[in-house]
Structure 1
């Protein structure tokens, strides 16, 4: 037992290896199970088996480790060592596996403390914060957080409870489902979000930006950041390095790649370096480990040169005519932390415009009986229209930003016709104080504001069709 422990103490359990490799390949547990079924010829393998492997409830047999090595691009001997570490961990308990370390190629590994940013309690906690703080408008179930953070339901529940007690997360229940999201009214949320964004938020941000490039088939994080994320101690990464794989039938547009790199650099405050290579079928070829610790692609009989593109300078980024006006104001608000960039499915103004329309419809219905309530709905619709124009560009107010950031951004880009957003914002602020002089609302106020905001909504829908992500 002692000999086995010393051989595996510096090696992460196989569940961690599988999860880390799967996430680097941007595969879901379902996708991994599907690939295993295809290469092994065994259609019975499913997502539940992958989940048991990753959570350490089951160690994959040797035959499955061979197929995992092919699909996940991990040397078989490393998976074998991970299996030994997992069995040892199950016998001696989690404390042994996470507190002991051994020298490996001159570098000390620690599995308990996150090497990327050791101020956090654990990688599970960091994963929960990355999921919730970088998606402030979304609520997560425990199962979703476990998938994001790569931990068991028990550990995720424990860490989430601690974060809730600290006021970082808020919880609500829908039946038996417990949903958690980031708090929005704490002064510490903004700085904590920025800290998470530049560390454990790297995979999400890189995935959001580069997945929008049509011909990119796979995105892999490599280099120093990937080593820190994997638990190898060392210097702080000074750049984010990517390996992009193109689809066999297409070539990524360089302008789109440069725009994605520029946005990622703005969000991560680090240079983003990437290379692009065509898709290669290496499922039948032996694995080879590169000197840097990343998986090297095996040699092919007909070699194809890798296209290397240097980090893109922001000043040369393509700028769309639709949002060239006011770009200096947006850049200033981004640099001051009032605005933040985001991407993915949420970068769409249509849901905001639809919500604004519902506010206006409700205002018409309640106006006869409660002009004050109707006017507040109109004010909220105006604010939502501004948020929609920003969202269409991948922009949103940052946590703790000033109240006028939406109207200020919208007016700077789209002109004085949107000054109603600021006027109604100021008027709504006075309505929050019942004893103020300007807190009386009449039917005439509603009749004057409603047509103006309805016209702005129509204009905003037209403008949004011409918008692209802000670079």
Structure 2
């Protein structure tokens, strides 16, 4: 079994953290098992095992629609708010920033880098004090500033967004900042809009 994730070592796996963050931070949505497996790049059986544990623990609820099994967060328990808050500050940057940046015109790609990305990839160290985001493209700087402020409020930690042009990102120049970013863990944000 893999070591517990560095972002929140009380969890059994990174998948468990990602799954909890997605479901608890979007309590209004239902997700089917196949969709979750595709989102996380694992088999439906792997997701199903995690979902069954979380349903058994009263954290998630499910229902069947035809052959599909839909799951969502249970918001009617004393666990919901504190667990949601915990997932927001630990694994929350990935779903929150992916969702938010997907709606910003001019964003071609986006990555989380720095200490949060390092912890997400399992590097040990202190909890990240902030979240560093690299946006590739030509979005409006004021929009990115506002987005960073709102994300900082929701995640309860500073969110720093650095913008670079697509040309600068693809040029592979000897820019010290970009070289440093490329040499350390990078977590690509999924900017595909959901149908």
Question: With structure 2 as the length reference, what TM-score do the two structures score?
Answer: 0.84
Equivalent residues of 1:131, 1:148 under 8 A apart: no
Tell me by how many angstroms 1:284 deviates.
8.7
| Residues 1:152 and 2:43 are matched in the alignment | yes
Aligned partner of 1:46 in structure 2 is none
**What is the alpha-carbon distance in structure 2 between the residues aligned to residue 265 and residue 284 of structure 1?**
31
Greater radius of gyration (CA)? 1
| Residues 1:189 and 2:80 are matched in the alignment | yes
5+ residue gaps in structure 2? 187-192
Q: 1:279 aligns with which of 166, 172, 175?
A: 166
Aligned partner of 1:122 in structure 2 is 13
Q: 1:269 aligns with which of 148, 156, 159?
A: 156
Equivalent residues of 2:113, 2:181 under 8 A apart: no
Equivalent residues of 1:128, 1:148 under 8 A apart: no
**Comparing both structures, which one devotes a greater share of its residues to helix?**
1
Aligned ranges 1:241-256 → 2 under 5 Å: 241-246=132-137, 251-256=138-143
**What is the alpha-carbon distance in structure 2 between the residues aligned to residue 147 and residue 295 of structure 1?**
22
| Deviation beyond 4 Å, 4+ runs, structure 1 | 281-286
Q: Which has the higher relative contact order, 1 or 2, with Cα contacts under 8 A spaced 6 or more apart?
A: 2
Equivalent residues of 2:145, 2:161 under 8 A apart: no
**What is the alpha-carbon distance in structure 2 between the residues aligned to residue 213 and residue 150 of structure 1?**
25
Tell me by how many angstroms 1:263 deviates.
0.6
Question: With structure 1 as the length reference, what TM-score do the two structures score?
Answer: 0.36
**What is the alpha-carbon distance in structure 1 between the residues aligned to residue 164 and residue 67 of structure 2?**
47
| Residues 1:221 and 2:108 are matched in the alignment | no
Aligned partner of 2:180 in structure 1 is 290
Equivalent residues of 1:245, 1:277 under 8 A apart: yes
**Comparing both structures, which one devotes a greater share of its residues to strand?**
2
Q: 1:179 aligns with which of 62, 70, 83?
A: 70
**What is the alpha-carbon distance in structure 2 between the residues aligned to residue 197 and residue 189 of structure 1?**
12
Q: Secondary structure at the match of 2:58?
A: coil
Residues 1:143 and 1:164: Cα distance change in structure 2 (over 3 Å): same
Equivalent residues of 1:265, 1:272 under 8 A apart: yes
**What is the alpha-carbon distance in structure 2 between the residues aligned to residue 115 and residue 175 of structure 1?**
39
Residues 326-352 of structure 1 show CA distances to partners (whole Å, capped at 9, x for unaligned) of xxxxxxxxxxxxxxxxxx88xxxxxxx
**What is the alpha-carbon distance in structure 2 between the residues aligned to residue 284 and residue 263 of structure 1?**
31
Tell me by how many angstroms 1:283 deviates.
6.4
Aligned partner of 1:166 in structure 2 is 57
Residues 1:228 and 1:292: Cα distance change in structure 2 (over 3 Å): farther
Q: Secondary structure at the match of 1:290?
A: helix
**What is the alpha-carbon distance in structure 1 between the residues aligned to residue 185 and residue 45 of structure 2?**
32
Aligned ranges 1:418-457 → 2 under 5 Å: none
Residues 1:283 and 1:253: Cα distance change in structure 2 (over 3 Å): closer
**What is the alpha-carbon distance in structure 1 between the residues aligned to residue 54 and residue 121 of structure 2?**
24
Residues 1:295 and 1:204: Cα distance change in structure 2 (over 3 Å): closer
Tell me by how many angstroms 1:245 deviates.
1.0
Tell me by how many angstroms 1:253 deviates.
2.0
C-alpha root-mean-square deviation of aligned residues, in Å?
2.7
Equivalent residues, number:
185
Aligned ranges 1:23-62 → 2 under 5 Å: none
**What is the alpha-carbon distance in structure 2 between the residues aligned to residue 289 and residue 233 of structure 1?**
22
| Residues 1:199 and 2:90 are matched in the alignment | yes
Q: Secondary structure at the match of 2:167?
A: coil
